[in-house]
Amino acid sequence: MMVDIHCHILYGVDDGPKTIEEAVVLSRKLTEKGVSKVIATPHFIGDYDLKPTPECVNKLISQLNGELHNQGIELSIYPGMEVFASDDTVDRIKNGEILTLNNSKYVLIEFSFENIPKYMSNLLFSMQLEGYIPIIAHPERYSLQYRRSGIIKEAVEKGALIQVNSGSLMGYHGKEVRKEAIRLIKEGMVHLIANDAHGGKRPIPSMKDVEKVLIEICGTENTDIIFYKNPVLVFENKEVERMKLVSKGSFLIEMLRSLRPNM
Ligand SMILES: [Fe+2]
């Protein structure tokens, strides 16, 4: 079972597919790439008047699941949101405006790509005080300011989780983003890989190709944890596993292993 915990698959709610037909095309593509379950994570921006409501998300999911079933596409969609952080995020989770990932304790949250908000550390801490676990979406795409401040590392040390985009690893967001994604993984700071697909706008790599790249970066055991096991554990509302230390020679060892399987 391959679970994708970050996907803009619902139609007409954000910058994902515009129609149900486009959503079906994206669904088909995801199954072809090896995905079987998807948590729909439309953007939730508190200040935006047209933000999706939980009712709207659930309604779209049941329509799309029905259509996928009718067309024989073996993909199931579950509820979630990608929350754009603001200082009232915790209140909005508590009052039921924000959907967690498949109704678990995990909340997918993204921050301004450019500037670190002053309330970032406090927000991540208060979410955890309320029993939620923040998953920071694709920090490899954030500005240099984040890297220099060490704020992501600090957030992880204090219990936040990190989700890296498969496309970042494949170089779809440029060399710098790819380098940062690799650095985060090598430092053992990553918990989850997801596609963050947006309809036809971004290519979706084959899961086999992503797996290959991950094994080269952090070895088979870590790949299994961040690519296969942890998305399922989030989906099932269980504790995720931490990465094992990435040895500097893991790339060489894996290469030798593939040449000499009895190593
Ligand atoms: Fe996203």
| Sheet of 76-78, strand order | 3-7, 37-40, 76-78
Number of domains in the chain: 1
User: Which pLDDT score, from 0 to 100, does residue 257 have?
Assistant: 57
For residue 91, the enclosing domain spans 3-259
CA of 76 to the centre of ligand 1 (A): 18
CA of 178 to the centre of ligand 1 (A): 17
d(CA 134, CA 159): 8
For 177, half-sphere exposure in the C-beta direction (CA atoms, 13 angstrom radius) is 18
User: Nearest-CA neighbor of 141 among 177, 190, 93?
Assistant: 177
User: Nearest-CA neighbor of 29 among 205, 257, 213?
Assistant: 205
CA of 111 to the centre of ligand 1 (A): 11
Interval 39-65 mean pLDDT: 96
User: Which pLDDT score, from 0 to 100, does residue 247 have?
Assistant: 76
Chain mean position to CA 230: 11
User: In the structure, what pLDDT confidence band is assigned to residue 201 with cuts at 50, 70 and 90?
Assistant: confident
CA of 138 to the centre of ligand 1 (A): 8
Question: Tokens 């007409």 identify what position?
Answer: 12
- Domain holding 128: CATH number? 3.20.20.140
CA of 82 to the centre of ligand 1 (A): 6
pLDDT digits (tens, 9 = 90+) for 85-135: 999 999 999 999 999 999 999 999 999 999 999 999 999 999 999 999 999
CA of 84 to the centre of ligand 1 (A): 10
Asked if the model's pLDDT at residue 260 lies above 60, the reply is no
User: Which pLDDT score, from 0 to 100, does residue 116 have?
Assistant: 97
User: Which pLDDT score, from 0 to 100, does residue 76 have?
Assistant: 98
pLDDT digits (tens, 9 = 90+) for 129-179: 999 999 999 999 999 999 999 999 999 999 999 999 999 999 999 999 999
The three-state secondary structure class of 133 is strand
- Tokens encoding 227: 């690519």
User: In the structure, what pLDDT confidence band is assigned to residue 58 with cuts at 50, 70 and 90?
Assistant: very high
CA of 3 to the centre of ligand 1 (A): 15
User: Which pLDDT score, from 0 to 100, does residue 140 have?
Assistant: 98
Instruction: Measure CA of the first residue to CA of the last residue in the chain; give whole Å.
Output: 29
Dihedral over Cα of 32, 232, 39, 122: its sign: negative
pLDDT digits (tens, 9 = 90+) for 223-242: 999 999 999 999 999 999 99
CA of 238 to the centre of ligand 1 (A): 22
CA of 12 to the centre of ligand 1 (A): 15
Asked if the model's pLDDT at residue 213 lies above 80, the reply is yes
Asked if the model's pLDDT at residue 250 lies above 80, the reply is no
CA of 188 to the centre of ligand 1 (A): 22
- What percent of the chain shows pLDDT beyond 90? 89
User: Nearest-CA neighbor of 170 among 134, 203, 199, 137?
Assistant: 203
User: In the structure, what pLDDT confidence band is assigned to residue 254 with cuts at 50, 70 and 90?
Assistant: low
